[in-house]
């Protein structure tokens, strides 16, 4: 009987301790509940020891049955009281779950608010970017008349969003009649064939004028793989189209003037040179027929006339060469510059006292032969013609300078004063003209025009006294530009 009472009391006290621990976990008074639980555990431990000793026949321990019965009743009451608190414990457990759920919802709400804030900022940045690009955004629902236009789209045409409307017809009605078929065809090819949608057309502004716009867009597929929507942007390109039109007019005007120049070249070649040649021949006949009957003064006059006529013919030849400079060929070929310069030297009347040194380092590259040959012929010829002594030296060399070949033609002549370095490249300019001078003042002007037209430049280094060096920067590689009838240096930056 005693063992049964102790056993039941122990179980009840352990159960009570368990319930107390649960209460400690579910409430804010964990410390108090844990102390009560510890007391119950000590009581249960004491009764376990009593139970063990009571079962030993040799133990002298006696058990107070009445006291243990009271302890059993106490344990039972404690358990009953804790059992009555059990619903509260369950509610407390649920409150904890609710609190945990609330904390989770609070975190999710904070995350959502942060996401919405970032999305709002992203939309604001996108709106600012759209305003900054000055483009109007559009979106069409394919197969219907529904459309969406950004406020900027309407502004580009002088309307408010409410005035412009939100239909495809709002766009179609303002489209230039001559552009409608092209636009419809471009949309169809993009939707049906996947062609790039990038087209320029005219839309009527509120003021009644048509303005040019460039529109680019893309279609979006639905779940069945068919095109459902199409969206893009338009940009006002009226100013660019106007500039292009003006450039086309200028190009046409340039072509017209070039044609007139060609006509002038023809007239100068045939109608001007022929009379001069006839006068020169007539003067020669007079000199031959008159023989010794002419006075010395008359003979000198005829010789002067003959020289002036030759000078006029050379001047016409130089003018024609200047007008045609660089226009004879648009094709490059492999040019061996050393061979080219040596051929030029052989054709020039070199005085016996002059030494011409051609460097072996002159390159071979793709170029237009005739313009390059004219450059060397005029530079070398000038160095000889304007030399002030019977003996002289001319050096032709070349070095690489970035994306250019730097050709140098140096002489030991009288030099050129610094204040005339720009003037010598102008037409009809001679520093020291004389009656015996066969020059026309066109040589260096022709050299500069040829060099610059082929994407290069020319410079002079000299001081009055002795020696002059001309530096010709000729591109390693050039590309002919038909629009301006000129050559462009590729990858050059001199």
pLDDT digits (tens, 9 = 90+) for 17-52: 766 666 666 565 566 666 666 676 667 666 666 666
Q: Kindly state whether residues 212 and 260 are assigned to the same domain.
A: no
For residues 274-283, average pLDDT: 76
Single out the residue in 264, 291, 324 at which a domain terminates.
324
**Enclosing domain of residue 339:** 328-489
Which of 411, 429, 434, 419 lies closest to 464 in space, CA to CA? 419
pLDDT digits (tens, 9 = 90+) for 416-427: 888 878 878 875
Q: Kindly state whether residues 339 and 449 are assigned to the same domain.
A: yes
Hey, how many other C-beta atoms are within 10 angstroms of the C-beta on 395?
A: 16
On the question of pLDDT at 429 being above 90, the answer is no
Q: Kindly state whether residues 357 and 485 are assigned to the same domain.
A: yes
User: Looking at residue 470, which CATH number applies to its domain?
Assistant: 3.30.565.10
pLDDT of residue 399: 94
Q: Kindly state whether residues 313 and 333 are assigned to the same domain.
A: no
Which of 224, 199, 218, 223 lies closest to 139 in space, CA to CA? 218
pLDDT of residue 179: 95
Which backbone phi and psi does 263 adopt, to 5 degrees? Answer: -65, -40
pLDDT digits (tens, 9 = 90+) for 286-333: 777 776 777 788 877 777 787 777 767 766 676 666 566 555 556 788
Q: Kindly state whether residues 343 and 431 are assigned to the same domain.
A: yes
Q: Note whether residue 340 is domain-resident.
A: yes
Q: How far apart are CA 61 and CA 303, in angstroms?
A: 167
Contact 403, 493 (CB under 8 A): yes
pLDDT of residue 435: 46
Hey, how many other C-beta atoms are within 10 angstroms of the C-beta on 413?
A: 21
Q: Kindly state whether residues 187 and 265 are assigned to the same domain.
A: no
Single out the residue in 94, 109, 124 at which a domain terminates.
109
Number of domains, the chain: 4
Tokens of 354: 């002059």
Q: Kindly state whether residues 318 and 348 are assigned to the same domain.
A: no
Contact 415, 466 (CB under 8 A): yes
Q: Note whether residue 121 is domain-resident.
A: no
pLDDT of residue 422: 82
Single out the residue in 236, 271, 306 at which a domain terminates.
236
Write 169-178 long-range contacts (CB < 8 A, 24+).
Answer: 169/145, 171/138, 171/147, 171/203, 174/203, 174/204, 175/201, 175/202, 175/203, 175/204, 176/201, 176/202, 176/203, 176/204, 176/210, 178/202
| pLDDT-above-70 percentage for the chain | 66
Q: Kindly state whether residues 438 and 363 are assigned to the same domain.
A: yes
Q: Alpha-carbon torsion 413, 415, 420, 422, what sign?
A: positive
On the question of pLDDT at 106 being above 70, the answer is yes
Q: Note whether residue 320 is domain-resident.
A: yes
Q: Note whether residue 263 is domain-resident.
A: yes
Q: How far apart are CA 6 and CA 449, in angstroms?
A: 126
Q: How many residues does the chain have?
A: 494
């Amino acid at each position: 009987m005693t063992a049964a009472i102790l056993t039941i009391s122990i179980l009840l006290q352990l159960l009570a301790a368990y319930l107390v621990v649960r209460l400690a976990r579910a409430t804010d008074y964990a410390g108090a509940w844990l102390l009560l639980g510890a007391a119950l555990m000590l009581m249960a431990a004491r009764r376990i020891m009593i139970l063990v000793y009571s079962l030993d026949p040799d133990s002298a321990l006696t058990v107070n049955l009445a006291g243990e019965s009271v302890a059993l009743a106490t344990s039972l009451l404690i358990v009953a009281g804790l059992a009555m608190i059990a619903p509260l414990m369950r509610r407390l457990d649920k409150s904890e779950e609710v609190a945990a759920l609330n904390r989770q919802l609070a975190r999710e709400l904070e995350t959502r608010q942060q996401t919405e804030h970032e999305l709002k900022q992203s939309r604001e940045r996108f709106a600012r970017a759209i305003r900054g690009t000055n483009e109007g955004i559009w979106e069409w629902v394919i197969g219907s008349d529904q459309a969406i236009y950004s406020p900027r789209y309407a502004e580009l045409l002088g309307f408010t969003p409410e005035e412009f409307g939100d239909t495809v017809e709002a766009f179609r009605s303002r489209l230039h009649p001559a552009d409608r078929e092209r636009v419809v065809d471009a949309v169809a090819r993009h939707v049906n064939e996947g062609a790039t949608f990038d087209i320029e057309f005219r839309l009527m502004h509120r003021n009644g004028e048509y303005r040019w716009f460039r529109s680019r867009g893309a279609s979006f597929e639905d779940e069945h793989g068919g095109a459902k929507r199409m969206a893009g942007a338009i940009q006002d390109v009226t100013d660019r189209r106007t500039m292009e039109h003006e450039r086309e007019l200028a190009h046409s005007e340039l072509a017209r003037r070039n044609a007139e120049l060609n006509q002038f070249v023809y007239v100068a070649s045939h109608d001007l040179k022929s009379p001069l040649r006839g006068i020169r021949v007539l003067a020669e006949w007079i000199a031959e027929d008159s023989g010794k009957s002419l006075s010395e003064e008359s003979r000198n006059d005829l010789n002067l006339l003959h020289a002036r006529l030759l000078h006029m013919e050379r001047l016409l030849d130089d003018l024609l060469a200047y007008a045609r400079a660089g226009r004879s060929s648009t094709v490059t070929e492999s040019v061996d510059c050393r061979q080219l310069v040596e051929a030029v030297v052989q054709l020039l009347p070199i005085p016996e006292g002059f030494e011409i040194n051609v460097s072996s380092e002159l390159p071979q590259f793709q170029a237009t032969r005739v313009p390059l040959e004219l450059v060397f012929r005029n530079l070398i010829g000038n160095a000889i013609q304007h030399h002030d002594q019977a003996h002289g030296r001319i050096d032709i060399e070349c070095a690489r300078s970035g994306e250019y070949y730097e050709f140098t033609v140096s002489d030991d002549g009288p030099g050129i004063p610094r204040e005339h370095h720009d003037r010598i490249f102008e037409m009809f300019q001679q520093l020291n003209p004389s009656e015996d001078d066969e020059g026309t003042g066109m040589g260096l002007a022709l050299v500069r025009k040829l060099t610059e037209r082929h994407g290069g430049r020319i410079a002079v280094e000299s001081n009055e006294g002795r020696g002059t060096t001309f530096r010709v920067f000729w591109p390693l590689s050039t590309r002919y530009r038909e629009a301006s009838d000129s050559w462009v240096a590729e990858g050059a930056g001199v």
